[in-house]
A and B are shown apart, each in its own frame.
Chain A
Amino acid sequence: EAGVAQSPRYKIIEKRQSVAFWCNPISGHATLYWYQQILGQGPKLLIQFQNNGVVDDSQLPKDRFSAERLKGVDSTLKIQPAKLEDSAVYLCASSLRAGNQPQHFGDGTRLSIL
């Protein structure tokens, strides 16, 4: 079974630039999550999708972050404009459905803001 695919693996941009990350979940997984993990901390949920609908985006900084999952499969997360504090690893995870199903993570995108 193929795992969660993410790209790019690494991205370096200057502050105020924009960046986009892509995620393809495990086939058949209805629920998709984007997390931000800052060095030394646990992952923090940014947004959760159930199929193509948003379940929870309460911790997404909506003035600069946006995400979509238009066809209920792959998803993109965008930051525009980026700030220095956005330097982190952005992890995508998927699960069969919401609730008590464990999540499976992609390799993540390591973002550095200069």
Chain B
Amino acid sequence: RKEVEQDPGPFNVPEGATVAFNCTYSNSASQSFFWYRQDCRKEPKLLMSVYSSGNEDGRFTAQLNRASQYISLLIRDSKLSDSATYLCVVNSANTGNQFYFGTGTSLTVIP
């Protein structure tokens, strides 16, 4: 079983739509969670960390469900500039603090 699993998509949504991505992780001892954004042929960039109580940054909301071992990313009022691949990242202290990346979910926002 993979450490981190994501639906690869692609998700094609119209501008202004709300879209949500889920990511599941296999290690129940995982401690840190992040969402990264990766544009085509570019490096991953940190979008937001995911806190236990959930957190929001503008149009982006991240949530963590430890019982079901998944994290989610909600994007409201999608913009054309949100088109990218969104990578789920999980870190576990009991595996040497290694970071595990999902394969990414592709989002295209359509005019």
By a beta-carbon cutoff of 8 Å, the part of chain A in contact with chain B is 33, 35, 40-45, 48, 55-56, 58, 91, 98-100, 102-108, 110
Contacts and interface: CB of A to CB of B under 8 A. Distances in A.
Main secondary structure of the interface of A (DSSP, over half): loop
Contacts of A105: 43-45
Given A55-B97, A56-B96, A98-B97, A103 B46 contact: yes
Interface residues of B, number: 23
Contact of B34 (A33, A41, A102): A102
B65 interface: no
B101 A44 contact: yes
B98 A48 contact: yes
A33 B32 contact: no
B32 A42 contact: no
B42 interface: yes
